Amino acid sequence: MKKYITDEVGLPTLNDIMAELAKPGRDPREQFEAFSFTEGVNSISDLKVGMKLPGIVTNITNFGAFVDIGVHQDGLVHLSQLANHYVSDAHEVVKVQQKVLVTVIEVDERRNRISLSMRDEEKAAPRKRSEKRGEKVLETDMATKLSSPDGKI
């Protein structure tokens, strides 16, 4: 080690370097997680309705979030498809560079548009309970609400 000693780098510095190199796995940076898109899905023509794909949020707008799913065209998750509950601002649910799991709900190859959903249909919950003629009725959509006898929404 004496052959590495110079006017700028002394023995104590070299000893410190050797001591740190002897301790592997002490990198102070956060653990890096590699992200990979679904294999075999490389273009918009490879997409099928109902496919569940991993993606990364690339942009958030007033009407939803754009997600990169690895087909060189970002897909849109509309506000109504971000969660099983009402969302007024996409920032409440997602952030840029967030990893998400999306479902393809529509593919328009001619216009090069992909519609995606982050809703979990298995866990979808009714939005509101109301009293109707003394019994509890689950209201799940606007048509049900509008057809109620009292006309209240």
Do 139 and 78 belong to one domain? no
Asked if the model's pLDDT at residue 3 lies above 90, the reply is: no
Do residues 103 and 126 share a domain? no
Alpha carbon distance 76, 104 (integer Å): 10
Tokens encoding 117: 């959903």
Q: What is the pLDDT, as a whole number, of residue 82?
A: 95
Same-domain status, 74 and 108: yes
CATH number, residue 112: 2.40.50.140
Q: What is the pLDDT of residues 107-133, one digit of tens each?
A: 999 999 999 999 987 654 444 444 344
Q: Indicate whether 55 and 110 sit together in one domain.
A: yes
Show the domain range for 151: 122-153
Task: Tally the domains of the chain.
Answer: 2
Same domain, 110 and 77: yes
Q: Is residue 67 part of a domain?
A: yes
Question: Helix, strand, or coil here: 143?
Answer: helix
28, part of any domain: no
Whether residue 84 is found in the same domain as residue 148: no
- pLDDT for residue 123: 58
Whether residues 52 and 112 fall in one domain: yes
pLDDT tens-digit readout, 54-98:
999 999 999 999 999 999 999 999 999 999 999 999 999 999 999
Q: What percentage of residues in the chain have a pLDDT greater than 90?
A: 51
Q: Are residues 130 and 82 in the same domain?
A: no
| Whole-structure pTM value | 0.61
Cα 55 from Cα 97, distance rounded (Å):
9
Closest alpha carbon to 44 in 97, 103, 106, 102: 106
Instruction: Assess whether pLDDT exceeds 60 at residue 134.
Output: no
